[in-house]
Amino acid sequence: MAFVADRLSAVKPSATIAVTQKARDLTAAGRDVISLGAGEPDFDTPAHIIEAAKKALDDGYTRYTATNGLPELQEAIVAKFKRDNGLDYTTSQIHVSCGGKPVIFNAFMATINPGDEIVIPAPYWVSYPDMAAMFGGVPVFVDCPADSGFKLTAEQLDAAITPKTKWVMLNSPSNPSGAAYTEADLKALAEVLLRHPHVWVLTDDIYEHIVYDGFEFKTIAQVEPALWERTLTMNGVSKAYCMTGWRVGFAGGPDELIKAMTKVQSQSISHTAAVSQVASIAALNGPHDFIAEHNRVFKERRDLVVSMLNQAPGLHCPTPEGAFYVYPSCEGTLGKTTEAGQKIETDEDFVTALIEAEGVAAVHGTAFGLAPHFRISSATATELLEDACARIQRFCASLR
Ligand SMILES: Cc1ncc(COP(=O)(O)O)c(C=O)c1O
């Protein structure tokens, strides 16, 4: 009898973490590798946030807090939802955890019974299906290809819903495609959801602030207030505030759900670190002007990468509305052979041959549920990105 629990048999380790590790291993072995696998900004946490954290330690924020964090943090989150999203929550309707990821984990643990279905538009963030599977949830994938902007349509949503549907996952701007839902897109999805009152929505808005070309971010409970009572609006400080390592994520939702998630957390991690909570208060309540400056750099890089990849034979790279990823198709390279004699049949073959030939680490689209694509994170220094894209061009041109 295996020692490891059966529930883990349906769970894969994170492919994005695996790629980053492979890049690290190759670098340690002396190879010149550019890693475009990571999903974190390359900017440092802004100084005023670090200062707030240093002061917090001196002020004695070194002890346990409530499961959902310090009252000041809950108030800062309530204010954030009101300010940025026009959403009304009370502090008892706020959940705080060690990042956006455990917020989703807690929501799933608190609500999924074996056999419950979770509608997941593909391409999706790698963790959704595996987290759902951990609790016996059944992911229902809906392919959202590039020609529909990588977005779920109302018709597709309607067709995917069954009496067993518990959650629909939305992620805008998306990891890995960078696609973002407009108000009209969300309104169309909301109309379907209004006809299916047993279905809840978990919207992962972690890239909310990272949008380009004047895109106006909206979240579904804002667009359709009647869905508020069955929506968990998830967000966090990791991406926009460059605070991935601080581990603070949060969500607003109806009392019953938040209570259930809090129960889960009270018997697991208890709460996120007090010092990180104080830093997050400084982030949410403090100046936000650095975000526009970061976005200017991200946009420059996005434009550079999209343009360079579209010049690589066999690749096609759509222009994302937000986040810091691009998700090009490598369909035009399939069936070709590398100089080392390796045949490229899948997007996984493509990224494996790419790292071997040119030392560029990217993540294959199959890991995100929509092939043949690969994901490049442009949260990497511009010179490195330029070098990486030149290597990708050379690699694609070398295929026969
Ligand atoms: C779409 C999406 N959701 C959630 C997360 C997790 O964020 P956190 O680091 O706050 O757990 C990530 C991080 O990569 C992400 O890309």
Can you tell me which atom of ligand 1 is nearest the CA of 236? 10
* pLDDT for 1: 67
Can you tell me which atom of ligand 1 is nearest the CA of 323? 16
- In the DSSP assignment, the letter for residue 380 is S
* pLDDT for 10: 84
Q: Which two tokens stand for residue 39?
A: 């999903």
Residue nearest to atom 16 of ligand 1 (CA): 175
Helix axes 71-85, 274-285, angle to 10 degrees: 30
- Could you give phi then psi for residue 162, rounded to 5 degrees? -130, 175
Can you tell me which atom of ligand 1 is nearest the CA of 98? 11
pTM over 0.85: yes
Residue nearest to atom 13 of ligand 1 (CA): 39
Distances (CA, A) of 218 to 22, 113, 174, 203: 37, 30, 13, 11
Q: What is the pLDDT of residues 198-208, one digit of tens each?
A: 999 999 999 99
Q: 206 C-alpha to center of ligand 1: Å?
A: 7
- C-alpha dihedral over 27, 376, 212, 74, to 10 degrees? -70
Instruction: Report CA Rg, the chain.
Output: 21
Q: 250 C-alpha to center of ligand 1: Å?
A: 11
Q: 229 C-alpha to center of ligand 1: Å?
A: 24
Strand, coil or helix: 306: helix
Q: 357 C-alpha to center of ligand 1: Å?
A: 30
Strand segments, DSSP code E, in the chain are 34-35, 94-97, 117-122, 138-143, 165-171, 200-204, 231-236, 249-252, 325-326, 360-361, 363-364, 374-377
Pocket of ligand 1 (CB under 6 A): 39, 99-101, 125, 171, 175, 204, 206, 236, 238, 244, 249
Can you tell me which atom of ligand 1 is nearest the CA of 101? 11
Per-position DSSP letters for 193-218, written without gaps between them: HHT-TT-EEEEE-TTTT-B-TT----
For 155, what's the count of Cα atoms within 13 Å in the CB-facing half-sphere? 3
Residue spans of the chain under pLDDT 70: 1
* pLDDT for 129: 96
* pLDDT for 90: 98
**Residue to substitute in 169, 172, 175 for testing ligand 1 pocket (most ligand atoms within 8 angstroms of CB):** 175
**Residue to substitute in 239, 242, 324 for testing ligand 1 pocket (most ligand atoms within 8 angstroms of CB):** 239
* Cα separation, 168 vs 200, whole angstroms: 6
- Could you give phi then psi for residue 176, rounded to 5 degrees? -110, -5
The answer to whether residues 227 and 195 touch, using CB atoms and an 8 Å cutoff, is no
Can you tell me which atom of ligand 1 is nearest the CA of 40? 14
Q: What is the pLDDT of residues 228-270, one digit of tens each?
A: 999 999 999 999 999 999 999 999 999 999 999 999 999 999 9
Q: 40 C-alpha to center of ligand 1: Å?
A: 9
Can you tell me which atom of ligand 1 is nearest the CA of 248? 10
Q: 205 C-alpha to center of ligand 1: Å?
A: 9
* Cα separation, 96 vs 264, whole angstroms: 12
Q: 175 C-alpha to center of ligand 1: Å?
A: 8
* Cα separation, 155 vs 351, whole angstroms: 33
Q: 341 C-alpha to center of ligand 1: Å?
A: 37
* Cα separation, 182 vs 178, whole angstroms: 13
Q: 101 C-alpha to center of ligand 1: Å?
A: 6
* Cα separation, 27 vs 29, whole angstroms: 5
The answer to whether residues 398 and 357 touch, using CB atoms and an 8 Å cutoff, is yes
* pLDDT for 375: 96
Percent pLDDT > 90 in the chain is 92
Q: 147 C-alpha to center of ligand 1: Å?
A: 25
Q: 11 C-alpha to center of ligand 1: Å?
A: 18
* pLDDT for 267: 98
* pLDDT for 12: 79
Can you tell me which atom of ligand 1 is nearest the CA of 174? 1
**Residue to substitute in 206, 246, 280, 377 for testing ligand 1 pocket (most ligand atoms within 8 angstroms of CB):** 206
